[in-house]
Amino acid sequence: MAIERTFLMIKPGSVERGLVGEIIGRFEKKGLKIVALKLAQPTRALMEKHYEEHREKEFFEGLISYATSGPALSLVIEGEDAIAAARKIAGATDPKEADSGTIRGDYALDVRRNVIHTADSKEAAEREIALHFENSFLTKHVSQEDKSAVLAL
């Protein structure tokens, strides 16, 4: 087991429905720590880069339209096996297959508006964190001393 960081995005429909606190609480109750968060309306260019592996699929345009339809909350969480833990908490992508007690099982209405995005691998997490927090402190490799100094400002 290893301490990891992963990327989550609470999608616009979830923000609109007032589910942010409930969703974040599930990760915190599991012992995962929020190390960054940002509320913003994602741009089309950002979401096209984010979901580029789906560009040729029939659902791509709808996915991008939904992801850019309103404010979304982007988060970086950290903890032991954070990537697998986040995927388990979120549940299966298709809410019809998601177990009750998971975020998608409890709140998602359909597969295209499935409440939350979670990175599916270490590589995806690193890429998505860099995309959504590109000029932030998170994407720079600094020493612990430098981190303390920056946070103290």
Please give the positions annotated as active site. Answer: 117
**Mapped to the 3 state alphabet, what secondary structure does 31-52 carry?**
CCEEEEEEEECCCHHHHHHHCH
Q: Which of 74, 51, 46 is nearest to 61 (CA)?
A: 51
Please name the residues in contact with 38: beta carbons below 8 A apart, sequence gap of 6 or more: 73, 74, 75, 132, 133
